[in-house]
A = this chain, B = another copy of it.
Amino acid sequence: MNALPEGCADVVFADPPYNLQLRRDLQRPEGGMVAGVSEEWDLFDGFESYDAFTRAWLKAARRILKPDGTIWAIGSYHNVFRVGAALQDAGFWVLNDIIWRKCNPMPNFRGTRFTNAHETLIWAARSERSKYRFNYHAMKAMNDDLQMRSDWLIPICGGNERLKRRGAKAHPTQKPEALLYRILLACSAPGDVVVDPFFGTGTTGAVAKLLGRHWIGIEEDCVYAAIAEERIAGLLPLAGGALAVSQGRRGEARIPFGALVEAGIVRPGSMLHAPARRGEALVRADGTVAMGDQCGSIHQVGAAAMGAATCNGWTFWHVVEAEQLVVLDAKRDVYRAMLANAA
């Protein structure tokens, strides 16, 4: 990066090593092994060594950024606090932290933590005084005329998009093009220069070329670099007015019964009633219900009460309200309305 001229970049996108610290191999419940990140480039002696590395590349990135340029950095809880703090210390001005929510993350196979279902991006201007570019209306249009939020739902990179070499993934941490697409559309213009100091297999370059942005990629691994060159060479940029976007919003959110309990709409300790006095069930703190020995979800216990294989607990169970039975599904509507309106 130090070979580039000062102030040459409109945007820097950086996907640095995450400094993962895996203790041992991880086995899937069905017997297979998880292919983790064991590459040498992700090995550091400790936080001090990682921090020094981070400060060095941030300093170089800041030098090549135009005064009004912005930087993106992506990370996980292993490294993102170090990167974020170093970025602030270096004089960058944080504009947003963006959550990449994965709709299909790897589960937590051992049941020891919450499923790690997101990664964090930091978007920052070169300085507090930067007049940075934010294509507000493009983002709003892309989000069905609602302001684009700081949490983005995007699938992980797989299928045909995932680059392979001899049947195996070419790079352990290839990012989805949709992620870079939204980033470059948000904060750059056609003709801008985008620099990626951890180019890998070139997702940033591929999307930049597609969107008519110039790109510079830096990659020390020559195998990755060769794959990236080949990948990008085979692409054509979009024609002038073809930047069609508009991504529909997802369907109605699934509501777990536990969310109603948590929100106090159905209280733990209260009773659910089956129609025609066919039984009642105690609501427990975690959103399960208990009827005699039976204990489980509203659907499972409902099925047991009906003597059926399956049951829709939302329409089966009722709560008492003002001496009337009210079907649970009505309470779900209340919760949905709360999600939509409450303030």
Contact = CB atoms under 8 A, between A and B. Distances in A.
Interface string A30-42: 0110000001100
Interface stretch (A6-14, A191-199, A239-247): A239-247
B111 A136 contact: yes
Contacts of A342: 103-104, 155-156, 158-159
Contacts of A97: 76-77, 80, 120
Copies of this chain, complex-wide, total 2
Given A31-B308, A142-B262, A178-B264, A241 B282 contact: yes
A339 B105 CA distance: 11
Interface in A239-274: 239, 241-246, 248, 253-254, 256-259, 261-264, 267-269
A341 B156 CA distance: 11
A269 B285 contact: no
A122 interface: yes
B238 A149 contact: no
A205 interface: no
A242 B268 CA distance: 5
Nearest to A242: B269
A246 B82 contact: no
B104 A27 contact: no
B141 A288 contact: yes
B82 A85 contact: yes
A65 interface: no
A135 B244 CA distance: 46
A262 B138 CA distance: 12
Contact of A306 (B31, B98, B263, B288): B31
Contacts of A326: none
A112 B230 CA distance: 37
Interface string A111-128: 111111110101100001
A99 B141 contact: no
Contact of A311 (B31, B150, B308): B31
List 5 A-B pairs, minimum CB-CB distance, nearest first.
Answer: A81-B84, A142-B258, A242-B269, A31-B308, A138-B286
Given A81-B122, A143-B258, 12 more contacts: A81-B88, A103-B342, A104-B339, A115-B148, A117-B151, A118-B151, A141-B258, A142-B256, A144-B297, A145-B297, A242-B282, A245-B285
